[in-house]
Amino acid sequence: MTKKLDILRIAVAQLNPTVGDISGNLAKAREARADAARQGADLVLYTELFLAGYPPEDLVLKPAFLKACEKAAQDFAADTADGGPGVIIGTPLKRKSGTHNSIVFADGGKIIAERYKLDLPNYGEFDEKRVFQAGPEIQGPVNFRGVRIGVPICEDIWGDVDICESLAESGAEILLVPNGSPYYRAKIDVRHQVVIRQVIECGLPMIYANQLGGQDELIFDGASFAIGADKTLAFQMSQFEEAVDITTWKRQGDHWVCSEGPMSKIPDREEADYRACMLGLRDYVNKNGFKNVVLGLSGGIDSAICAALAVDALGEERLRAVMMPYRYTSKDSLKDAEDCARALGCRYDIVPVFEPVEGFLHALTQMFEGTKEGITEENLQSRARGTILMAISNKFGSMVVTTGNKSEMSV
């Protein structure tokens, strides 16, 4: 008979996986487990579809990808034969009931349980119903070293399906939830309220482990946390930072109470927005294999902010700023751009655009004859600048970044 634990040390692995990099994600998971073992963890909770990276989208439709993910999950499960912490890790799994957004629960060198996501989101940035099938039924809690643990997956706690309440009714003592919840302003408050609502319904403490990192247009901010059965914040992990944090849970009568865990300060909204932009830019550049970035520096505030963001995200050595003056460019703009580049410590080049712009105007002289000069002619400047930046990108492997000023963006 398995002896019940009175103290459970759960490590939350808030990490930054890369979509499609199964071997890299497995290596990252192993490193986190080793770290958690050194800190005395009994169990490590990873985030949604961690081995595949989230969201994997059409990769899930490739049989070879699914087989590689399952092999990685089996290999990781085998690692737990060392007597160290068990693991809960997300991966896609193909079964007779369909291809599922799943977790594997491993301990003692083997997979002791699988659980499949029931409520598949199909709105906004999510289209999981296109590539996954919902789990066929609510599956009960997993017995881990004498503790009955429920594992709903992300949307399973956001929707109206009473999954958490069902887990409580079937004997769960604590709920551990892997998530892939993207950032938007004040999203942390929304997550807290979602979890509090579920805790009120089911009466169980809930640990919410959230992915970190940028993936295309999505930014995952981490900020993992737990709400206790008393509906108070049990712990709060950092936002926009990778972490493997140990949380200590003690059995008190019929309830588990968090006695130790991080209580990180969350940035205010302006800082959070800026750090989200940094994380998104850094991951887009690095995960897509760009060496550095190139930016048109005009001397204005918008491009100066963009340059500062690039330096904060990547370092001054990975930003190439280019001033592209035309006949309307003032001496003040030239000086401001140079001062900005010098202050940031990045490379600064000057590439005049007079000849290419005049060439376009000359080519269009006959067609534009008799029309009034206006925004069309002005926009030839930005399009010429865009062409030059793209040429630099093609030649040197830099990614072009630009401001949000639509008149300055090449199309």
The DSSP output letter for 69 is H
Beta-ladder partners of 90: 103
- The answer to whether residue 154 is catalytic is yes
* Secondary structure of 134-199 as H, E, C letters: CCCCCCCCEEECCEEEECCCHHHHCCCCCHHHHHHHCCCCEEEEEECCECCCCHHHHHHHHHHHHH
Domains of the chain in start order, with CATH, are 7-268 (3.60.110.10), 290-408 (3.40.50.620)
pLDDT digits (tens, 9 = 90+) for 6-19: 999 999 999 999 99
Q: What's the confidence (pLDDT) of residue 411?
A: 42
Residues belonging to the chain? 411
Beta strands in 159-269 (DSSP E): 174-179, 206-210, 212-215, 218-221, 225-227, 233-236, 243-252, 255-260
Radius of gyration, CA atoms only, the chain: 26
The segments of the chain whose pLDDT lies below 50 read 1, 407-408, 410-411
Count of CB atoms within 10 A of residue 328's CB?
8
Distance, first Cα to last Cα, the chain = 68
The span from the CA of 51 to the CA of 326, in Å, is 50
Active-site residue among 28, 117, 155, 164? Answer: 117
The span from the CA of 337 to the CA of 55, in Å, is 39
Beta-ladder partners of 386: none
What letter represents residue 319's amino acid?
L
Q: What's the confidence (pLDDT) of residue 254?
A: 84
The span from the CA of 222 to the CA of 276, in Å, is 11
Beta-ladder partners of 244: 13
Per-residue exposure over 397-409, b if at least 16 CB sit within 10 Å of its own CB, e if not:
ebbbbbbeeeebe
Q: What's the confidence (pLDDT) of residue 36?
A: 98
Q: What's the confidence (pLDDT) of residue 157?
A: 96
Active-site residue among 28, 69, 154, 287? Answer: 154
Count of CB atoms within 10 A of residue 115's CB?
26
The DSSP output letter for 322 is E
pLDDT digits (tens, 9 = 90+) for 310-369: 999 999 999 999 999 998 889 999 999 999 999 999 999 999 999 999 999 999 999 999
Torsion of CA 131, 133, 92, 67, to 10 degrees: -80
